[in-house]
Amino acid sequence: MNDKIKLNNIYNHVKETLADAGITDIAEADFLLCEALKINRSELMSKLLTGDNGHNGVLTKQQGRVVNKLLRERAKGRPLDKIVKHKNFYGQEFYVNKNVLSPRKETELLAECVIDFINKHFVGATTPPASQAPLHGGEFIGNLAEASDEAKISSSNSRGVTPASKLIRGPAALPVGRRARVLDLCTGSGCVAITIAKNCKCEVTACDVSKKALAVARKNIKYKISDINGGSCLIKNSPLVKLILSDMFKSLNPKDRFDIIVCNPPYIKSGNIEHLDKEVKDYDPRLSLDGGADGLKFYKIIAGEAHKFLNPNGVLMLEIGFDQAEAVTKLLKNKYKNIEVIKDYGGQDRIVKVKTKK
Ligand SMILES: C[S@@+](CC[C@H](N)C(=O)[O-])C[C@H]1O[C@@H](n2cnc3c(N)ncnc32)[C@H](O)[C@@H]1O
């Protein structure tokens, strides 16, 4: 590549080099150029159409160097997000490095299920700001219909009419003024925890056994992550996401109670890891993949422990491998009810959602 190179030429060069390395997804060439030129995809398309890149159609030397560097690394097989150190999840850019699993598209559905659940079952617009909301206590609404029924049984007056003021005091009543309490186990980059905290009224405790992963999550909580769409702020210094170094439930306060426990645990069978794509097995930490000999190691821990940390009517939402629904629901059926298996957009079983029996 010479010093003065036109955008259209370098675009073709990038596509050809990637294709030679077996990478044929055109989106990769687009992403690589967008990253190097600090523009978004629609800007890239328009510049390619008009032949303009703001420098009379020619890349600067520095831009050329960046393209080459990214291209060399990508052609060696290193995933783009691990090269550029950020990955989009639920519309936000998250910092990633070799110590965390790069957030996956499928996992957005897990975050979305939790967000939907909180927005449906917890006080929304009437919830006061964090400064006024008590951090502990209050009751989880559970299912609104159920909550009202239980409250009616315990609180209705002689005419069978339940005063609104009593409805909030039943065993599964509306937690007026309280945020939903969420535990994100195996948080990694913090993408699930942060996305939930950003999108609904809740407070999230996020755990991981890896100090290095927690350092990434902390960075994602604390700092502005500039993205190619012009920079977006995650939740700067938010007290709404608390990080804990913990081997699953071991370092949690045994008195802690949550309304929702969410987890995307490592779920690949140990013996299958070597057969995964190079981009996964060589660049995502083994700790984030290895689910033990049968892939179920973490689901077994969750099945044995999670109910102790859930409020009455508490809910557990777990990401699973496409072939694990039967095994995981079997593990959970003793202590949980309302078992649901939710499919991802590709039609594969992806999430198990259950409600505690207590
Ligand atoms: C599949 S990744 C999920 C990361 C992130 N939640 C996501 O969805 O992108 C699993 C995470 O579990 C963590 N992990 C592995 N063993 C653990 C354990 N015993 N206790 C807590 N976390 C663990 C790994 O460090 C990794 O960050």
Is the CB of residue 108 below 6 angstroms from any atom belonging to ligand 1?
no
pLDDT tens for the 358 residues of the chain, in order: 445 678 888 999 999 999 999 998 889 999 999 998 888 889 888 888 876 655 556 788 888 899 999 999 999 999 999 999 999 999 888 999 999 999 999 999 999 999 999 988 886 533 333 333 332 222 233 222 222 322 222 233 333 333 333 333 323 444 556 789 999 999 999 999 999 988 888 899 999 999 999 999 988 987 643 332 333 444 444 557 899 999 999 999 999 999 999 999 999 999 999 999 999 999 999 999 999 999 999 999 999 999 999 999 999 999 999 999 999 999 999 999 999 999 999 999 999 999 999 7
pLDDT of residue 4: 67
Q: Among 330, 176, 319, 175, which Cα is nearest to 258's?
A: 175
Angle (CA) 197-206-349 rounded to 5° is: 80
Rounded-to-integer distance, Cα 292 and Cα 103, Å: 21
Q: Among 305, 347, 336, 342, which Cα is nearest to 113's?
A: 342
Strands (E), the chain: 86-89, 92-95, 180-185, 202-208, 241-245, 258-263, 310-319, 336-343, 349-356
Q: State how beta strands 349-356 and 336-343 pair.
A: antiparallel
Q: How far is the CA of 10 from the centre of ligand 1 (A)?
A: 39
Q: Among 290, 318, 323, which Cα is nearest to 303's?
A: 318
Residue 24 burial (C-beta neighbours within 10 Å; 0-12, 13-18, 19+): exposed
Is the CB of residue 280 below 6 angstroms from any atom belonging to ligand 1?
no
Q: What is the number of the ligand 1 atom nearest to the C-alpha of 100?
A: 27
- Give the global pTM: 0.82
pLDDT of residue 38: 87
Q: Among 355, 352, 291, which Cα is nearest to 317's?
A: 352
Rounded-to-integer distance, Cα 297 and Cα 299, Å: 6
Phi first, then psi: give them for residue 120, nearest 5 degrees: -80, -35
- Ligand 1: residue of 186, 246, 267 to mutate (most ligand atoms within 8 A of CB) is 186
- Ligand 1: residue of 98, 101, 300 to mutate (most ligand atoms within 8 A of CB) is 101
Read out DSSP for 86-135?
EEEETTEEEE--TTSPPP-HHHHHHHHHHHHHHHHHS--TTPPPTTTS-S
Rounded-to-integer distance, Cα 264 and Cα 350, Å: 10
Q: Dihedral of CA 306/183/94/215: which sign? A: negative
Give me the amino acid identity at 211. Answer: K
Is the CB of residue 101 below 6 angstroms from any atom belonging to ligand 1?
yes
pLDDT of residue 331: 98
Phi first, then psi: give them for residue 352, nearest 5 degrees: -110, 130
Q: Among 114, 98, 171, which Cα is nearest to 141's?
A: 171
Please give the structure tokens belonging to residue 85. 């150190």
Q: How far is the CA of 297 from the centre of ligand 1 (A)?
A: 12
pLDDT of residue 231: 35
Is the CB of residue 192 below 6 angstroms from any atom belonging to ligand 1?
yes
Q: What's the full length of the chain, in residues?
A: 358
CA atoms within 13 A on the CB side of 314: 21
Residue 309 burial (C-beta neighbours within 10 Å; 0-12, 13-18, 19+): buried
Q: How far is the CA of 264 from the centre of ligand 1 (A)?
A: 7
Phi first, then psi: give them for residue 104, nearest 5 degrees: -105, 150
What is the Cα gyration radius of the chain? 24
Helix/strand/coil for 185: strand
pLDDT of residue 122: 82
pLDDT of residue 100: 98
- Of 3.40.50.150, 1.10.1060.10, 3.30.1540.10, 3.40.50.620, which CATH number belongs to 105-140+175-356? 3.40.50.150
pLDDT of residue 53: 55
Q: How far is the CA of 185 from the centre of ligand 1 (A)?
A: 7
Rounded-to-integer distance, Cα 191 and Cα 197, Å: 10
Is the CB of residue 216 below 6 angstroms from any atom belonging to ligand 1?
no
Q: How far is the CA of 116 from the centre of ligand 1 (A)?
A: 23
pLDDT of residue 83: 95
Neighbour count for residue 218 (Cβ, 10 Å): 15
Give the domain ranges of the chain.
7-77, 105-140+175-356
CA nearest ligand 1 atom 8, residue: 264
